[in-house]
Structure 1
Amino acid sequence: MKASHFYISTLKEAPSDAEIISHKLMMRAGMIHRVAGGIYSYLPIGLRSIRKIETIVREEMNRAGAIELLMPAVQPAELWQESGRWKKYGPELLRLKDRNARNFVIGPTHEEVVTDIVRRQIKSYRQLPVNFYQIQTKFRDEIRPRFGVMRGREFIMKDAYSFDKDRASLAVSYKKMFDAYVRIFTRIGLEFRAVIADNGSIGGSESHEFHVIAETGEDAIAYCPTSDYAANIEKVDCIPLSNDRAAPMETLLKRATPGKAKCEAVAEYLGIPLERTVKSVVLATDVDGKIKIWLLMLRGDHHLNEIKANRISGLEEFRFASEVEIVEWFGTSSGYLGPIGTKRPMRVIADQTVANMSDFVIGANELNFHLTGVNWGRDLPEPEVYDIRNIVEGDPSPDGKGKIAMCRGIEVGHVFQLGTKYSDAMNATSLSETGKSQHIEMGCYGIGITRILGAAIEQNFDDRGIIWPETIAPFEVVLCPMHYDRSQSVRTVTNQLYEDLLNSGIDVILDDRGERPGVMFFDWELIGIPHRLIIGDRSLKEGKIEYQERRHTDTLFLEKGSAAQVVARKVKAAKKL
Structure 2
Amino acid sequence: MRASAFHITTLKEAPNDAEITSHRLMMRSGMIRKLAGGIYNYMPLGLRVIRKVEHIIRQEMDAAGALELLMPVVQPAELWMESGRWEQYGPELLRMKDRHGRDFVLQPTSEEVITDIARNEIQSWRQLPVNFYHIQTKFRDERRPRFGVMRGREFTMKDAYSFDRDVASAQKSYQVMFDAYMKIFSRMGLTFRAVSADTGSIGGSQSHEFQVIADIGEDLIVYDPASSYAANIELAPAPCLLTQRQAASAPLTPTPTPGAAKCEAVAELLGTPLSQTVKSIVLATDPEKGPAQVWLLLLRGDHELNEIKTGKVPGLNKGFRFATEAEIIEHFGCKPGYLGPVKMVKPVKVIADLTVANMHNFICGANQEDFHLTGVNWARDLPEPDLITDLRNVVEGDQAPDGKGTLAIQRGIEVGHVFYLGTKYSEALKATFLDEGGKPALMEMGCYGIGVTRIVGAAIEQNHDAKGIVWPRAIAPFEVAICAVGWGKSQAVRDAAEALYAELKAKGVDVILDDRDLRPGIMFAEWELIGPPVRITVGERGLNDGVIELLGRKQTEAARVPLSDCCTQTLALLETY
Query: How many angstroms does 1:323 deviate by?
Result: 1.8
Query: How many angstroms does 1:522 deviate by?
Result: 1.1
Structure 2 equivalent of residue 494 of structure 1 = 497
Residues 241-270 of structure 1, C-alpha deviations (whole Å, 9 max, x = no match): 122111111222222222221112212222
Equivalent residue letter for 1:560: L
Equivalent of residue 355 in structure 2, options 353, 356, 365: 353
Residues 445-471 of structure 1, C-alpha deviations (whole Å, 9 max, x = no match): 000000000000000111110000000
Contact 1:4 1:513 in 2 (8 A): yes
Q: Say which SS state the counterpart of residue 17 (structure 2) adopts.
A: coil
Contact 2:23 2:457 in 1 (8 A): yes
Structure 1 equivalent of residue 172 of structure 2 = 172
Contact 1:285 1:318 in 2 (8 A): yes
Structure 1 equivalent of residue 122 of structure 2 = 122
Instruction: Say whether 1:344 aligns with 2:346.
Output: yes
Q: Separation in 1 of the partners of 2:561 and 2:528?
A: 20
What is the TM-score of this pair, normalised by structure 2? 0.98
Equivalent residue letter for 1:364: A
Query: How many angstroms does 1:436 deviate by?
Result: 2.1
Structure 1 equivalent of residue 377 of structure 2 = 375
Q: Separation in 2 of the partners of 1:400 and 1:227?
A: 11
Q: Separation in 2 of the partners of 1:355 and 1:536?
A: 74
Which one is further off, 373-382 or 158-167? 373-382
Q: Separation in 1 of the partners of 2:455 and 2:226?
A: 28
Q: Separation in 1 of the partners of 2:491 and 2:265?
A: 76
Which one is further off, 257-266 or 532-541? 257-266
Structure 1 equivalent of residue 508 of structure 2 = 505
Structure 2 equivalent of residue 11 of structure 1 = 11
Contact 2:552 2:573 in 1 (8 A): no
Query: How many angstroms does 1:401 deviate by?
Result: 2.9
Alignment of 1:47-126 (within 5 A): 47-126=47-126
Equivalent residue letter for 2:293: K
Q: Separation in 1 of the partners of 2:267 and 2:7?
A: 62
Alignment of 1:276-291 (within 5 A): 276-287=276-287, 288-291=289-292
Q: Percent identical across equivalent pairs?
A: 62
Residues 284-306 of structure 1, C-alpha deviations (whole Å, 9 max, x = no match): 11112521111000001001111
Q: Say which SS state the counterpart of residue 350 (structure 1) adopts.
A: strand
What is the TM-score of this pair, normalised by structure 1? 0.98
Alignment of 1:510-549 (within 5 A): 510-549=513-552
Contact 2:139 2:155 in 1 (8 A): yes
Q: Separation in 2 of the partners of 1:477 and 1:362?
A: 63
Q: Say which SS state the counterpart of residue 104 (structure 1) adopts.
A: strand
Residues 492-532 of structure 1, C-alpha deviations (whole Å, 9 max, x = no match): 11110011001010000000111111111111110001101
Q: Separation in 2 of the partners of 1:574 and 1:210?
A: 24
Q: Separation in 1 of the partners of 2:131 and 2:492?
A: 56
Contact 1:264 1:274 in 2 (8 A): yes
Structure 1 equivalent of residue 412 of structure 2 = 409
Structure 2 equivalent of residue 272 of structure 1 = 272
Q: Separation in 2 of the partners of 1:278 and 1:373?
A: 12
Equivalent residue letter for 1:191: T
Q: Separation in 2 of the partners of 1:400 and 1:567?
A: 49
Structure 2 equivalent of residue 145 of structure 1 = 145
Structure 2 equivalent of residue 29 of structure 1 = 29
Instruction: Say whether 1:467 aligns with 2:470.
Output: yes
Q: Say which SS state the counterpart of residue 158 (structure 2) adopts.
A: strand
Contact 1:224 1:401 in 2 (8 A): no
Q: Separation in 2 of the partners of 1:345 and 1:278?
A: 19
Residues 161-188 of structure 1, C-alpha deviations (whole Å, 9 max, x = no match): 0000011001100000001001000000
Equivalent residue letter for 2:407: I
Q: Separation in 1 of the partners of 2:165 and 2:311?
A: 32
Alignment of 1:151-550 (within 5 A): 151-287=151-287, 288-315=289-316, 316-383=318-385, 384-550=387-553
Q: Say which SS state the counterpart of residue 345 (structure 1) adopts.
A: coil
Contact 2:164 2:170 in 1 (8 A): yes
Q: Separation in 2 of the partners of 1:412 and 1:530?
A: 23
Equivalent residue letter for 1:438: A
Equivalent residue letter for 1:15: P
Distance change in 2, residues 1:159/1:350 (3 Å): same
Q: Separation in 2 of the partners of 1:428 and 1:399?
A: 39
Structure 1 equivalent of residue 41 of structure 2 = 41
Q: Separation in 2 of the partners of 1:356 and 1:173?
A: 43
Q: Separation in 2 of the partners of 1:295 and 1:422?
A: 35
Contact 1:430 1:440 in 2 (8 A): yes
Query: How many angstroms does 1:282 deviate by?
Result: 0.6
Query: How many angstroms does 1:336 deviate by?
Result: 1.0
Q: Separation in 2 of the partners of 1:266 and 1:98?
A: 58
Q: Separation in 1 of the partners of 2:10 and 2:455?
A: 21
Equivalent residue letter for 1:451: R
Flag as ranges the 4+ runs of structure 1 deviating above 4 A: none
Q: Separation in 2 of the partners of 1:54 and 1:3?
A: 24
Q: Separation in 1 of the partners of 2:403 and 2:119?
A: 44
Q: Separation in 2 of the partners of 1:552 and 1:156?
A: 33
Residues 90-149 of structure 1, C-alpha deviations (whole Å, 9 max, x = no match): 110011111111111111000000000001111111111000000111100000000000
Contact 2:249 2:361 in 1 (8 A): yes
Query: How many angstroms does 1:434 deviate by?
Result: 2.3
Q: Separation in 1 of the partners of 2:2 and 2:262?
A: 63
Contact 2:166 2:444 in 1 (8 A): yes
Contact 1:197 1:208 in 2 (8 A): yes
Q: Say which SS state the counterpart of residue 118 (structure 1) adopts.
A: helix
Contact 1:76 1:103 in 2 (8 A): yes
Equivalent residue letter for 2:346: R
Q: Separation in 1 of the partners of 2:214 and 2:264?
A: 30
Equivalent residue letter for 1:468: W
Equivalent residue letter for 2:284: A
Q: Separation in 2 of the partners of 1:424 and 1:399?
A: 36
Contact 1:197 1:231 in 2 (8 A): yes
Which one is further off, 109-118 or 309-318? 309-318
